[in-house]
Amino acid sequence: MNTAAPTSSLNGPGLRLRDQIILITLARTVLNTGQRMIYPFLPTFARGLGVSLETVALGVTARAGLGLISPLLGALADRHGRRRSMLAGLIVFAASMLLVTVWPTYPALFTALVLAGVGKHVFDPAMQAYIGDRVGYARRGLAIAVTEVSWSGAFLVSIPVLGWLIARTGAWQTPYPLLGGAALLALAMLWRVIPADSMGTGYRPTLREGVRLILAHRAALAILLVGFLISASNETIGIIYGAWMEGAFALKVTALGASAIVIGLAELTGEGAVAGFADRIGKRRAAIGGIVANVAACLLLPALEFRVETALLGLFLFYLTFEFAIVSAIPLLSELVPGARATLMAGNVTAFSAGRMLGALIGPALFSVGLLANCTVAALGDALAVAALLLFVPRD
C-alpha cells in the first residue's frame, strides 16, 4: 500500500487545510440535508402536492439509481480537477433546489430529486479525492471522519430545524429556497478557499483508463466487495426496522420518531470513534473490528425486542458499528489507486447502491419469516466482508 505523504498536512499553507475541511463539511451538510429530508417529510411533500406517497417515492427511486452510474460522474474529478468538480456539484444542487422554489410542482420535485443526486455524486468523490491528495495517510481517518459528520449533522440539526419551519409557514416547499441559498453560499466559500486545480502536464486518466487501473488492483476490488456486502447487510435490516418497531410495540409515531434520533446519535458516535481511533489502530483493523461488532449487533437485535427501550439500544449499536466500519474503510480505499482516486471513490458509491438495492429487495421477504431471518442474513454478509478484508487487503 502506498503511504507516501501527499502535498499538505492538516496545517497546510494559506487557509489551513483543517479549516478547509471544516468548510467542506458544512457544504456537504447542505447536500446531505437535501438528500435525507425527503424521508421524514415524504408525507408532507405528498400532501402539499396532492399526490400519493408512492408517486413521490418514484423520484427517490430514480435518485437511488444514479449510484449505479456514479463512476461516470466521479471520474470528472480525475479528469478535470477536484475543485472544479466540487464547485460543479454545488451548482447543480443549488439549481435543483431553486427549481422547486420557483416552480413548486411534482415534475419540479421529481427533477430536483434527480438533479440533487447528480450534484452529490459529482461533489462527494471529488471531495474525498481532494482530502486523499492533501492529507497524509497517517491522519486521513480523522479528516474523512470529520466530513462524515455531515450525515449525522443533517439528521440531528438541519432536518429538525426545517421541520419546525415547515410547521411555522405551512408551506411544504419551505426548505428549498433555504437549501438553495445555503448551497450558493457554500459555493462562494469553497471558490475562495480551495486552491485552484493544478492540472499541469501530469497524467489524467479517462474513465476507461481509471476503471482499468481499478480492475487490476485486487485490494481495491476487495474493498468494493466489502462495501457491497455491508451495505446490503445494513439495508436488509434498515428497510424493515420501521415495520418491526410498529408491529412489536404499536408505537408508530413515538417509536419511529425516537429511532430517527437514535440513528442520528449512533452515526455521530461512530464518526467520532473513527476520528479518535482509526488512525491509531489502523484503518484496516478498525474496519474489521467495526464489521465484527456489527455481526454481534445483528445477532443481538432479536433478543432485545422485549421492550422498546432495549430495541432502541439494539438499533443504536447496529448503526454505530456499521458507521464505524464504513467510515474506517473510506480512507483505506482512498490510498489504493491514487492515479484514479476519484473514480475509485465513485465506484464505492456504486457498490453501496447495488448493495442497498439487494438489501431492499430481500429484506421484506426475509421479514415475512421474522426479524431473526433478516439479522442472520445480515450477519452472514458481514462475515463475508471480514473474510475479503483479511484475505485480499494488506495491513496498513
The torsion of the CA quartet 180, 183, 185, 189, rounded to 10 degrees, works out to -170
Phi and psi based region of residue 214 (left: phi greater than 0; alpha: psi -120 to 50; beta: remaining): alpha
- What is the distance between the alpha carbons of residues 289 and 138, in angstroms, rounded to a whole number? 19
Report mean pLDDT in 10-residue bins for the chain, 396 residues: 48 67 96 87 88 83 81 82 94 97 96 94 92 90 91 86 89 95 97 78 68 89 96 89 75 55 89 92 96 97 88 93 94 87 86 87 90 96 98 90
Segment 196-199 long-range contacts (CB within 8 Å, at least 24 positions apart): 196/83, 197/80, 197/81, 197/82, 197/83, 197/84, 199/80, 199/81
- Confirm if 155 and 267 have CB atoms less than 8 A apart: yes
Contact residues for 122 (Cβ-Cβ < 8 A; gap 6+): 73, 74, 76, 77, 85, 86, 88, 89, 92
pLDDT of residue 39: 76
Domains within the chain, CATH numbers bracketed? 17-193 (1.20.1250.20), 207-392 (1.20.1250.20)
- What is the distance between the alpha carbons of residues 372 and 391, in angstroms, rounded to a whole number? 29
Taking each helix axis as running N to C, give the angle between helix 218-238 and helix 371-392, from 0 to 180 degrees, rounded to the nearest 10.
170
Cell 463539511, located at residue: 25
DSSP string, 113-166: HHHHHHHHHHHHHHHHHHHHHHS-HHHHHHHHHHHHHHHHHIIIIIHHHHHHHH
pLDDT of residue 3: 43
CA atoms within 13 A on the CB side of 348: 27
C-alpha cell at 318: 447496529
